[in-house]
Amino acid sequence: MKKTIFFASFLGTVMLTACINNEDVAEANNKIEISGNHFIFTTEDFGAEMPTRAAVPLESVNTVDLGDGLQAEVTIGVDWSPQVRAVNPIADGHYTIYAVNSSGERVTGIDSKVSGTVTAGGFIKDPGTNLRLSPGTYTFVCYNDAVIDNGTNLIVNNGSDALVGTATENIHGEGWKVNFTMKHQGARVRYKLTSYTSASSGVAVQFTSTTSDQPISLTLNTKGVVETVNRGVLSGISTSFAATSEAVNSSYTLPYTTPLTDYNFLLPGVKGNKLKLTFTSGRVYGENLAGKSLTLAFADELARNGSYVVHVKLKKILYLYDDGTVGTFAERGTRRPIGVVVQDKLVGQDGVAMALTSRLSGKWSTRSGVQDNAIMGNDFVTVMNDMNGYKYTWDPSTSKDGVTVKAESSIYPAFYAAGHYHPNVPVTGKNVGKWFLPSMGQWRLAVETLYQMKVLSQLTDWGYPKADQDKRNRIDTIFKQAGGFSPMGHDYWSSNEYDLRNVGDMCFRKSKVQFDYYGYGKRINWGVLPFVHF
C-alpha cells in the first residue's frame, strides 16, 4: 500500500515538472528567430539621383596660381562612372541588425542584435549573436562597420563609406522577408592629376576645410534617421596618386594623367568652395609640390549619395627647343630653348611659340594712308580671334595687291625682320617653321600664357585687361633664365591692319598690358617679336 502511494506521488511530481517545462518551451518558442535567410539586401548606387549627361553638368572649373610658375586648373564635377542599375547587390562586408518595436523603442536585452558577414549577398551570422522577437511589426535597422552604435544613437563620421538601411516588416507566420535597401550616408570623391610633357611621381594630397562650419559627423536616431549634423573643421582626409608613365621628349604637348585614385568619403552638406587640397608630397616638372595648396570653386554642397571627381591639371611654362620638342626649363637636359610656347601642339593643331632673343624693331610700313592687307578690321573680338600672322607675313594673297610677300619686301621692315629672324642657336627640328609677325589673336595667346588669364572674359573692346602686375618678375624670369630678353616695358607690332593709318599693337608696359591700335601711323619704329609654328 505504501509503495503504491509513493509511486503515485512520484508520478504526479514528474507530470507537474513536465508541465512547467512545456510552458517554458512554449514561451521560448513564441519568439521568432530572425535569421540570415529572412534578409534581402540591395545597395543604392552612388550617383543614382544625380544629373545625367543629358542634363546640365554639375561642374566647376577654376584656375589657381601655385607659385613658382606653376598653375593648376581644377575641375570638380559629377563622376560619370557607368551605372548599370539604381540598386546593386550589397557589398561584401560586416553588418549589424537590430529592431525597433511599434512603440518606437529599440529592442534591448538578450538576443536583441545580430551581426554577421555578407558574402555574395548571403548573410552568415557571427557566433553568439541572435535576434529573437515576438510576433509583431518592427522597424529593422542595418548598418555596416563604418557606423558607430552607442546603444542610443548611430554616429557617422567623415572618411568612411557608412551604409544604413531600414525596413518595416510584420513578423508572424511564414513567408515574410526583411528587405533592406542600404543607403550611403555621405558622398564620395576621387581624383586624377594631369601634367604636360612631364611625369609625376609620389604625389599625395590632404583634404581640409577652410571654415569651421563643415559637417564632421552625423547623429542618427534609433530608427536610422539623421537628427543632428555636427559641425567643425574638416581634416585628416588624404589620398595618394599613382605615378604616371615615364615622359618622353616630343613636339606635342603630351598629357600624363594618373589613374583615378581610391575614393574619399565626405558627409552631405560639405560646401565645395570651402574645401582645400594641400599637396603633402610629390614631384612634377622637376619640382617639389609639398606645401602647395589650392581651394576648390565648387559652390554647391556635396549631396548624399553623390559621386564626384576632382581633376587637377598642373601646367607650367613650356619652351620650344632647338630640336623641335617642347618641355619645361628644369627638364631641358641638353636641349636649348628658342621660344616660349603660347599654343600647345596637339593633334590637328599647330603649336605656336614666341621668340626668346629678339631685339628687333622696324616700321610696320614705309608708307601711310594706303591699305596694305587684303582685309582691314577694327572689331575687337574679331581681331582677337585672328590667328593668321603667318599668312599676313608669308602669303601674298593676304596683301592688298595679291602678289606681295611682306616678309620679302623692303616696304614692310617689321615683316621682313620677323621673317628673317634666327635664334641664337642652330635649329635642328624639322617641324620648326618660318618665323612671322604675330596677329593680335596670337598676341592674345601670349598674354594669356604669360599672365595666366583669359582676355576675352574681361575685354570686349580695345584697352587694358586686368593683368596681375605681380607677374612681371615671373615673366622676366621666363625669358631671362632661358637666355632671352624680357618683353616687359616694350611695345610690339602685330600683323593686323586697323585702317589706312593704324595697325594693332601689343604694349607690355611696366604697370599694365594693353591691346591697342597705334594712332601715329605705320611709319614708327616699334618692336618686332617674331612667332613661329611648330
pTM of the predicted structure, to 2 decimals = 0.83
Three-state SS letters, 137-165: EEEEEEEECCEEECCCCEEEECCCCCEEE
Q: Which letter does DSSP use for residue 250 in this model?
A: B
> In this structure, which amino acid lies at residue 196?
Y
Output Rg (C-alpha) for the chain, integer angstroms: 36
CA distance 351 to 532: 8
Q: Report the distance separating Cα 501 and Cα 484, nearest Å.
A: 32
CA angle 253–532–429, rounded 5-degree value: 65
pLDDT along the chain (534 residues), means of 10: 38 38 44 91 82 53 88 89 62 96 97 94 92 97 98 95 97 92 96 97 96 97 97 94 96 97 95 93 95 89 93 97 97 98 97 98 96 95 97 99 98 99 98 98 96 88 78 91 95 96 89 80 95 99
State the Cα–Cα distance between residues 98 and 114, nearest whole angstrom. 7
pLDDT at 457: 86
Q: Is CATH 3.40.50.11540 the right assignment for the domain spanning 32-47+85-184?
A: no
Collapsed DSSP state (helix, strand, coil) of residue 432? coil
Number of residues written out for the chain: 534
Grid look-up 539623421 returns 226
Cα 241 to Cα 257: distance, rounded to the nearest angstrom: 10
**What gap in Å lies between CA 191 and CA 268, rounded to an integer?**
18
Residue 454's CB is within 10 A of a number of other CB atoms, namely 13
Q: Could you give the residue range(s) of every CATH 2.60.40.2620 domain in the chain?
A: 32-47+85-184
What is the pLDDT, as a whole number, of residue 121? 80
Contact 532, 433 (CB under 8 A): yes
